[in-house]
Chain A
Amino acid sequence: MPDIVTAVLAEIAWPFALMLAWVVGELGHRWLTLPRVSSYGIVGFLLAAGQAGVLPHTREGPMAMLADAAFGLILFELGYRVHLGWLRANRWIAVTSVVEAFGCFVAVFFVARAFSVDMVRALLLASLSMSTSPAAVLRVANELRSSGQVTERTLHLSAFNCMLAVIAFKIVVGYGLLLDDGGILHAVWSSLVVLAVSAGVGVLFGVSVPRLLRLLGGMDRNATLAFAVAVLALTALTHGLRFSPLLAALAFGIVARHRRIVLSQAQRNFGALGDLLTILLFVFVAATIEWRQAAAGIWLALAVIGVRLMVKTAATTLFARASGIGWRKGALTGLALTPLSVFAILLLEQSRHLGLGLLDELKAIMAMVLLLEVIGPVVTQRALIWAGEALRREDG
């Protein structure tokens, strides 16, 4: 193929992939009641460099940056829904969160060791498995216009376990660098300093942006756009400086919410901008997966998925009554926490510059992402419907 054709194809590949993903998403939703994000993932995976080869191999550059921004918006929105006061009013929520997250860490670590994964990689896998993908749960909950305790708890637990996962992950990275003889300074910088600065910048935004809004007045109308712009700036800043955009965006959302300026319901998902970026995000993430690598890690992946599901469901069920809901809703909360993909991949992508070669060697993560990309959102969707929290058809 002449170079010029290749160049043109490379340029148009992304927009067309997004269009295709959107069409498949709508059809899958209509015909199979599949969550839209599941379809986006399937399209991204199939078109990826490693499969059909339509999408160019771009792990750096503008697409990665946009994916970060998309995820930043989602994490901000999730953070904005988190109510820290709930942990004080109902300590069992906090207990559930800690037990399900660290329970996953411990269980997955032992499973990985049993599959003869080396120490550092087993720890990395364990820390990533703690998290529930906020992108999947938030998008599915919004798509179903779901409301109730399973929804509420899934979103809160997802926000908390992501935060715990980032912290655990960065600490393990620091530990890994130390073992690799990267020097103590490099290790501390890449873990503790990155954590502190990322969270700090997020908090700073959370304090200053609402203050700015108050100064400008007319908060009813401006809040959504102002927050979107601020999230984009924050993501670019932390991405550029190689801090953690994920942690920063989540911290921004949580602090902004507790500064008491509120988004109205019409602005969920950040409107059409959020919808567009979500397609991009899910296509991008799935496109990082290579079939051959994923296949190599499939058995470990299945074991981890199984253990993770068991631990999360056990924790949410065990503390269900104590925290004020029935066993059934407790168990469904655990199920709804299944999705993993986006969060783990972006976390790995953002650590690429450390040269640990994490993504390529953690084949099990590839396989897990591939499996859960489609299945995860479906499980969440079913759990919310079974809990009776989705908007019913006769109501819609």
Chain B
Amino acid sequence: MALECFKQSQPLTMGVELELQLIDPADLDLSASAPDLLHLLARGRFPGQVKPEITESMIEVATDVQREYGDLLAQLRRIRDALTQAGERLNVSICGGGTHPFQRWFNQRVFASPRFKQLSDLYGYLAKQFTVFGQHVHIGCGSADEAMFLLHALNRYVPQFIALSASSPYSQGEDTLFDSARLNSVFAFPLSGRAPFLLTWEDFDRSYFTKMEKTGVVKSMKDFYWDIRPKPEFGTIELRVCDTPLTVERAAQLACYLQAVCRHLLAREEPPPCEDDYLVYSYNRFQACRFGLDGIVVHPRTHESRPLREDILDTIERVGQHAAVLGGEAALAEIRSIAAREGNDAGFLRRMRAEEGSVQGIVDAAVRRFRERERGST
């Protein structure tokens, strides 16, 4: 199958996908409830899309194409309410978070569908280890070349999104000391990491995709697990590094922050991306995963080291006017508060562990947080 045509879309529109955890309220472990939940949801009108994920204790929801923070948030809240209500009817709790704190990977069941079966056969235990939960944000691109530009221009901002969204400090019952342990599961896949440095769609097709396809290693764009990948059938680029936050509010805010950063990059206010930007990429990404907002990142051009927190606050200043044009000021204000005061969800989960005294208490807190409306936001 040749590389698909890149379908044009309205620039800077957004779409959000969230992978969510299905929880057994009895012991707060993951619960293989996706088939029952999907069955029930299929009977009514769902305010978005809902589909299975690789294991039966996961579910994925997606919004429509949205332009503004308010509409995006409103739809995410309708999705959350529909899910919570369906869950209550079936005695299944639902929550965010990049990992389940104490599930055992070998207890997970692969969802019965040909694609997931095939992935499970290919990747073996990696498939079950992949019971991790991410937020994917799509940003619409006016052309394929614009998509390739944006994909690479964003490289320096990837650690910011990792740190802001990080909500997976616990894995298999232990504190990993990472803020985002989820990404360590993603790195295990052979086609993860970053996209090759090619700035036009034609180059990407000719010098990379067609050659890769000939090797037989890949068949479609779906086989790449890159941090950011082009999605030709939607006409978008897809940022895949975020952990699913504990609330849909934060999910919407992250998407709008990305939207504002993209508008800033498309205004070409920064020097264009170059291959050498990626010299510090993996290091910075590690810092963000491991230390979250306290991570120390190296600027690819100036080689200056500074805390991610400062880098984010600085970026917020620079993209403020773009957020205003896009109607995302409220979202930006929330992002500023995460960086400046509140901290990310990983910090919240660690506080819950200390307060509740058990890993089960963490899940209980996450379930409650997913359900409640955040105070003060629209």
Contacts and interface: CB of A to CB of B under 8 A. Distances in A.
A262 B89 contact: no
A113 interface: no
Interface string B69-112: 00000000000000000101111000000000010100111101
Given A264-B29, A324-B40, A391 B109 contact: yes
B36 A149 contact: yes
Interface stretch (B5-13, B317-325, B352-360): B352-360
B277 interface: no
Given A83-B91, A89-B89, A263-B27, A395 B33 contact: no
B35 A148 contact: yes
B60 interface: no
Interface string B1-33: 000000000000000000000001111110111
A147 B90 contact: no
A195 B330 CA distance: 58
Contact of B35 (A80, A265, A388, A392): A388
B27 A265 contact: yes
A170 interface: no
B39 interface: yes
B361 to A, nearest CB: 8
B358 A220 contact: yes
B364 A260 contact: yes
Nearest to B34: A148
Contacts of B104: 265
B27 A264 contact: yes
A263 B24 CA distance: 12
B358 A262 contact: yes
A257 B364 CA distance: 13
A391 B108 CA distance: 9
Contact of B360 (A262, A323, A325): A262
B33 A147 contact: yes
Interface in A291-306: none
Contacts of B89: 89-90, 323-324
Contacts of B35: 148, 388
Contacts of A263: 27
Given A90-B89, A147-B33, A148-B32, A325 B39 contact: yes
A220 B358 CA distance: 6
A219 interface: yes
A217 interface: yes
Contact of A217 (B24, B40, B357): B357
Interface string B341-378: 00000000000000001111100100000000000000
Contact of A264 (B88, B357, B360): B360
- Give the interface SS of chain A, mostly helix, strand, loop or mixed: loop
Interface of B is mostly: loop
A83 B358 contact: no
A261 B90 CA distance: 22
A76 to B, nearest CB: 13
Contacts of B91: 83, 86, 89-90, 152, 156
B378 to A, nearest CB: 28
Nearest to A91: B89
A81 interface: yes
A274 B109 CA distance: 26
A145 interface: yes
A329 B32 CA distance: 15
A326 interface: yes
Contacts of A323: 89
A13 B161 CA distance: 67
Interface string A367-396: 000000000000000000000110110110
A326 B37 CA distance: 11
A219 B355 CA distance: 12
A132 to B, nearest CB: 18
Contacts of A147: 24, 31-33
Interface in A124-148: 145, 147-148
Contacts of A86: 88, 91
A329 B112 CA distance: 17
A86 B358 CA distance: 24
Interface string A215-247: 001111000000000000000000000000000
A227 B35 CA distance: 33
Contacts of A217: 357
B358 A219 contact: yes
Contacts of A89: 88-89, 91
Contacts of A145: 107
Given A81-B26, A392-B109, A220 B359 contact: yes
A218 to B, nearest CB: 8
A265 B357 contact: no
Contacts of A325: 36, 39-40, 90
Contact of A149 (B25, B90, B358, B359): B90
B24 A264 contact: no
Contacts of A218: 357
B189 to A, nearest CB: 20
A262 B109 contact: no
Given A147-B32, A324-B89, A392-B109, A262 B39 contact: no
A152 B40 CA distance: 15
A158 B27 CA distance: 18
A188 B357 CA distance: 45
Contacts of A392: 109
A391 B358 CA distance: 27
A34 B152 CA distance: 59
A263 B29 CA distance: 10
A323 B91 CA distance: 11
Contacts of B110: 394-395
Interface string A319-353: 00001111001000000000000000000000000
Among B28, B40, B91, B358, residue most surrounded by chain A Cβ atoms (within 10 Å): B91
A148 B36 contact: yes
Given A148-B35, A329-B36, A392-B109, 11 more contacts: A83-B25, A85-B25, A89-B91, A145-B107, A149-B36, A156-B91, A264-B102, A265-B27, A388-B35, A389-B32, A391-B107
Interface of B: 24-29, 31-33, 35-36, 39-40, 86, 88-91, 102, 104, 107-110, 112, 357-361, 364
15 contacts: A83-B91, A89-B91, A90-B88, A90-B91, A147-B32, A149-B33, A219-B357, A220-B358, A257-B26, A262-B28, A263-B27, A264-B102, A264-B360, A324-B90, A326-B39
Per CB-CB distance, the 10 closest pairs between chain A and chain B, nearest first, are A89-B88, A262-B360, A324-B89, A81-B26, A147-B32, A86-B91, A149-B36, A90-B89, A395-B109, A265-B29
